[in-house]
Amino acid sequence: MIASACLFALLAVAAATDFRRRKIYNWTTYPGIALALGLNAMAALLEQNSMLTPDRVQRTLGEVGLEDSLLGLLMCGALMLVCYVVFGVGGGDVKLMAMIGAFLGLERGLETLLWTFVLAACLGIIALAWKVGPGRLIARVLRQGLYMLRIGGWAEPTPEERAQLSFSWFLAPTALVAAALVEFELIR
């Protein structure tokens, strides 16, 4: 599976640069998108010219089809663009998830996108519990819940609580794990 090997190599580079420098570089994502689309276009040409059987092409290249690759690129990219505008997700994360969509196609790309955010949220909760302490965290969550029931609104966090809530998200490492979960069907 050439496509899988290329995807995981690019994700490993992106995870390393995201973790070390808090950046996902264009020199990782743009060639990755072009490579994914190129592999799928080449597979379509090989199948069309009857050089190889579609099953053999799929096994060798790991392609998902040019149409599915484009749909994955557009939908994963569009959803992450919304996250960029609304939630302040980094631009490199947008391009990284678009690249994953181009490699894995629409369905598996969206599944990887969802797993990426689930894993990142779990890591965020773990980091918050580590920073604040599990007992204080549970007490604060219960206090917020009671406040919402009584008043019907959200209590503004204190400056100290706001500082504790600031967490550095690293989506590339979680995207690497999420892509492995989806690609190798580790969760089924």
Q: Counting Cβ atoms within 10 Å, is residue 5 exposed (0-12), middle (13-18) or buried (19+)?
A: exposed
Question: First vs last Cα of the chain: how many Å apart?
Answer: 21
pLDDT (tens digit per residue) in 2-57? 999 999 999 999 999 999 999 999 999 999 999 999 999 888 888 777 666 777 76
**What pTM did the predictor assign?**
0.87
Which pair of structure tokens corresponds to residue 153?
């609104």
pLDDT (tens digit per residue) in 48-90? 776 667 777 676 777 788 999 999 999 999 999 999 999 889 9
